Amino acid sequence: MISKKMEKMVANNSAIRAMFEEGNKMAKEFGRENVYDFSLGNPNVAAPAAVKDAIRELLDNEDPVVLHGYTNSNAGYEEVRETVAKSLNKRFDTAFTANNITMTVGAAGGLNVILKALLNPGDEVIVFAPYFVEYRSYVSNFDGVVVEISPNTVDFQPKLDEFETKITANTKAVIVNNPNNPTGVVYSEETIKQMAAIMDKKQKEFGTDIYLISDEPYRELAYDGVEVPYLTKYYDNTIVGYSYSKSLSLPGERIGYLVVPDEVTDSETLIGAVNIANRILGFVNAPTLQQKVVAKCINEKTDISFYDRNRETLYDGLKALGFECTKPQGAFYLFVKSPVADEKQFVAAAKKYHILIVPGSSFACPGYVRIAYCVSHETIVNSLPAFAKLADEYK
C-alpha cells in the first residue's frame, strides 16, 4: 500500500524502534537509573530562563493575530530575520541582511528546503563518513544520489584526496556537519580552506555550481575555546543550515534558519526558490511564536559547561579503561573504537551491562560506536563501572 521508497525505510526503522523499545523495557525491568542510555541526541539541559521570559513577554505585549498568524513572507518575520542577520554579522564579520535569512522548521526542515530548491533527480550530493544518517533520507526525498567519502579514522577530518576524485559534473552539493555528529570533531580552518580550494577548482573544471551546505546544529557546542570556522567566508557557494535545538534546548519546537548569502550564484533566484520550497513542502513558515522567541534570545547561550563536564569525565574514564577514542571538541558525542571489528557485537555486549550505544554502521563507519553524552552527569559517573566490566571482556 505504501510507496516503494517508504517500504525500505519502514523496514530499517523497525531496527531503531526495536532498540528504543528495548531501552524502555530495560528501564522498566532494572530501573531507569540503572540503565545507561547513550543512544539519543536529545539535549537534557533545560532552555535558558530567558526563553520562558520571552514567551511571557510576547503573550503580554503582542497582538495574537500577528503573534500566531502566517508571516507575510514564507521566509518569516522580517524583524526576526534582521536580528539573526545582524547577530551573525557581529559574530562572524559577515554582511547579511534579512533577505539572506529564511526561518525554517529546525535544521532538518532547512536541509529539506535547500535540497528541494537545488536537486534534480540523479544529482550527486557528497557526504563525509561518518555522517548523520538522515542525510540519506533527505537526499532521497528529491531523488538525489548520495556519494560517500570514506572515513578518515586517524583524526576524523574529511579525506580531501578522495573528495577531490569523487567530485563529478553531476555533483550538485556537499554536506558538512561541523561540529560533527557522530564524532564530535570540529573541521579545522585548514581543512575548510583546502576543501574550498578543491571545490573552486572543480567548479571551474566542470563549469558547474557546487553548493557547500553547512549543517550547524552543534555550532555553539564547542569546547576548549576551539574556533568553528564560518564557511560562507571561505567559499562563495555556501549555504548554512542552523537550528536552535541544541543552542537553546528547543529541539521539539522546530526552529532554525537557512542562510543564502549574496555571494551564492544567482542568489536572488535561489532565495525565491527556498521560500517557495518552504511553503510547498508544507512547512509554510517556521512556527511564529518561536521565531520571535529566538530573536529575543539571540544572545542567550545554553550551559555548555554541563556537556563539557560530561565530556571530560566520560573521555577520561573510557581512556583509563583502555578504550580508543578521539577527544571530541564539539557537539555531545564521543566516537569510540570497538575492540572487535564487528561493532554490533560490541553494542550487544554493552547491553548486558545496561549500556545503550549506537553502532558506527548507522553513520557509515563500522568498527566504531557513538556515545551521546547529553545525559545527566550522574549517568556518566554511574556508567563507568559498567564500562569497566565491558572492558574486562576484551582484555
The answer to whether 301 and 219 have CB atoms below 8 angstroms apart is no
Cα(387)–Cα(370) distance, integer angstroms: 14
In whole angstroms, the minimum distance from the beta carbon of 262 to a second copy comes to 14
The answer to whether 131 and 175 have CB atoms below 8 angstroms apart is yes
Q: Can you say whether residue 303 is alpha, beta or left, with left for phi > 0 and alpha for psi between -120 and 50 degrees? A: beta
The smaller minimum CB distance to a second copy, of residues 69 and 322, is found at 69
Cα(340)–Cα(343) distance, integer angstroms: 6
In whole angstroms, the minimum distance from the beta carbon of 369 to a second copy comes to 21
The smaller minimum CB distance to a second copy, of residues 5 and 301, is found at 5
The smaller minimum CB distance to a second copy, of residues 159 and 292, is found at 292
The smaller minimum CB distance to a second copy, of residues 11 and 154, is found at 11
The smaller minimum CB distance to a second copy, of residues 248 and 371, is found at 248
Q: In what order do the strands lie in the sheet with 145-149?
A: 101-104, 256-259, 238-243, 211-215, 171-177, 124-128, 145-149
The smaller minimum CB distance to a second copy, of residues 126 and 390, is found at 126
In whole angstroms, the minimum distance from the beta carbon of 137 to a second copy comes to 4
Taking the C-alpha atoms of 118, 121, 124 and 127 in order, what is their torsion angle to the nearest 10 degrees?
70
In whole angstroms, the minimum distance from the beta carbon of 355 to a second copy comes to 20
Cα(395)–Cα(390) distance, integer angstroms: 9
Contacts of 194 (CB under 8 A, 6+ apart): 160
